[in-house]
Amino acid sequence: MRMLGLASLPAVNATLNAACTILLILGYALIRRRRILGHRICMLSAFVCSVAFLVFYIYFHTHAGIIRFSGQGWIRPVYFVLLVSHTVLAVATLPLVLMALSLALSEKFTRHRRIARWTLPVWLYVSVTGVVIYWLLYIAYTPVGAPALQSFLTFSLFWFPV
Ligand code: HEM
């Protein structure tokens, strides 16, 4: 039971990244139409998704260990470029997101807008690549996991045969 919970976390994390992407795009569309309350709700919800992702991600990897990518050939460098750029930008975007949020919540909207215009594309890149990395690592190719994850690997091969 505990194993099934751990095994489902990568899919939960990919869903959180996908939800974050949709909320960011919706939030941007809303502010372009001057719908401030809708924009506020979408951006705060995107932030909650990203925080939940971070908590689950750390929990998963402290319990499951490292999951290795098994793809060979041209896809291998593509995967690692995505993974490194995703990780570096995820770290870089955190202070930007916190700054954009705190400026908005303290109603310093001119400064909020200046920072948020940089924050939004970087945050979007991080959440979209999060979904792509999940798909490459767990679905498109058979993941090579730590022994603790064997039941997850069986589970994913059952549902997503490749
Ligand atoms: C970190 C989360 C957020 C991001 C990434 C973000 C993103 C953005 C972006 C990109 C713009 C500029 C839109 C344009 O080019 O016209 C903007 C404007 C704005 N945002 Fe946010 N936003 C966030 C959170 C919030 C929150 C929580 C509020 C609360 C009310 C808010 C209120 C506004 C307002 C009022 C503007 C218009 C500012 C102006 O035109 O002077 N934002 N936001």
For residue 111, give the CATH number of its domain.
1.20.120.80
Element (H, E) at 22: helix 2-32
d(CA 17, CA 127): 5
- Judge whether 161 lies within some domain: no
d(CA 9, CA 57): 8
Q: Domain total for the chain? A: 1
- Judge whether 13 lies within some domain: yes
Phi and psi angles of residue 17, each rounded to the nearest 5 degrees, phi first: -65, -40
Atom of ligand 1 at shortest distance to CA of 98?
1
- pLDDT tens by residue, 102-151: 999 999 999 999 999 999 999 999 999 999 999 999 999 988 865 455 55
- Judge whether 156 lies within some domain: no
Enclosing domain of residue 18:
2-146
d(CA 91, CA 18): 18
- Give 153: exposed, middle or buried? Use CB within 10 Å, 0-12, 13-18, 19+: middle
Ligand 1 center from residue 94 Cα (angstroms)? 16
- pLDDT tens by residue, 18-47: 999 999 999 999 999 999 999 999 999 999
d(CA 19, CA 67): 24
Atom of ligand 1 at shortest distance to CA of 96?
1
